[in-house]
Amino acid sequence: MHWGDTVKSKIETVGSLVLGIDPAPDHAPLSLCDRSDLFLERYVKALLDGAEGKVGFVKFQSAYFEAFGSGGMASLARCIAIARERRMAVILDAKRGDIGSTADAYARAYLVPGGSDLEVDCLTVNPFLGPETLKPFVDCARDYGKGLFILVKTSNPGSGWLQDQIVDGTSVSERVAEAVAVWADETIGDHGIGAVGAVVGATYPSQGQRLRTVMPRSVFLAPGLGFQGGDPRATSALATPTGPVLISASRGVAAVEDREMPLDAYRALIRSRLDGFRQTLSPAAIPASLSG
């Protein structure tokens, strides 16, 4: 199935929220942390239990699994499988990017069916090394129904240091966006949505408006809801029929101060936080079946 079709059908049935999964033991309930070797999978299962029926997309942050070394990467593979069993579309936020031959190996690891046990539906990639280094990812997205989110305007406070710089009359992020738009057109699916999308932080919705005009057929991944203060309403309003917006929150859904919280209460908290975030989105981003 084309990534754009997957996005469209998940949004229509469950909505555009993305559950960000950044497993950090220092803000998780203690009952999940008592055996460090089991922490990652227990944490992911607790979040997925709480998110049942509330989200159709999960975004795993690779770094938090890598931080546990080889065991963490093995857990990531198992957590990807668990999320897929629960019919979630899996985005891996690994921000990969390197010279073409190495990018080819990354693409095989994450995007080629059966290429490795880290295969996901969609991957974040970094454009800093230039267009030919993104080609292996774009080819895989087109050939195997996968999705890409290329970093265009990231959510962090310092993103403007490079991304807002003007070169030959165009900002660096717009320059990247122009390339994304071309790749989106080359990978278009039945619904007019390209497989190549963009990371556009929820913290910069007015730049998002401008970027939407440059990338009319790309899915936006908008991280930064919750802890980073992203604007849910203005960001979800960037969605168009051929340019859906997926909005993600990680700590804002999962982090707790009361670390003694029992697991059942934690699952209930996840559910109510996801409901709360959903209510802050533009009404157009909420499927009719869930808007009541």
Is there binding between residue 127 and ligand LLZGTKA7 (CB under 6 A)?
Answer: no
Residues annotated catalytic, as ranges: 95
Exactly one of 4, 50, 194, 224 binds ligand LLZGTKA7 (CB under 6 A); which one? 224
Count CB-CB contacts under 10 A for residue 150: 27
Among 133, 154, 171, 187, binds ligand LLZGTKA7 (CB under 6 A): 154
Is 252 an interacting residue with respect to ligand LLZGTKA7 (CB under 6 A)? Answer: yes
Round to whole Å and give the CA distance between 189 and 217: 10
Interface size with ligand LLZGTKA7, residues (CB under 6 A): 18
Query: The tokens 């969609």 sit on which residue?
Result: 122
Query: Residue 145 or residue 202: which is nearer to ligand LLZGTKA7 going by CB?
Result: 202
3-state secondary structure of 168: coil
Which tokens sit at 23? Answer: 């497993």
Smallest distance, ligand LLZGTKA7 to C-beta of residue 143, A: 26
Q: Which among 47-55, 66-74, 108-116, 220-228 is the span making contact with ligand LLZGTKA7, rule CB under 6 A? A: 220-228
Kindly state whether residue 235 participates in binding ligand LLZGTKA7, applying the rule CB under 6 A. Answer: no
Strands (E), the chain: 17-21, 57-61, 89-96, 122-125, 147-153, 166-167, 170-171, 196-200, 220-223, 245-249
DSSP letters along 101-145, please?
A: HHHHHHHHHHHSTTS-TT--SEEEE--TT-GGGTHHHHHHHHHHT
128 binds ligand LLZGTKA7 (CB under 6 A): no
Strand 245-249 relative to strand 17-21, pairing? parallel
| Number of CB atoms found within 10 A of residue 283's CB | 11
Label residues 62-84 b or e (16+ Cβ within 10 Å = b): bebbeebeeebeebbeebbebbe
Residue 250 within binding range of ligand LLZGTKA7, rule CB under 6 A: yes
Spatial contact of 279 and 292, defined as CB atoms under 8 Å apart: no
The binder of ligand LLZGTKA7 chosen from 189, 197, 201, 208 (CB under 6 A): 201
The reply on whether position 226 binds ligand LLZGTKA7 by CB under 6 A is: yes
Residue 160 in contact with ligand LLZGTKA7, rule: CB under 6 A: no
Does residue 93 touch ligand LLZGTKA7 according to CB under 6 A? yes
**Does residue 24 interact with ligand LLZGTKA7 by CB under 6 A?**
no
Residues at the contact surface with ligand LLZGTKA7, assessed by CB under 6 A? 20, 22, 61, 93, 154-156, 199, 201, 223-224, 226-228, 249-252
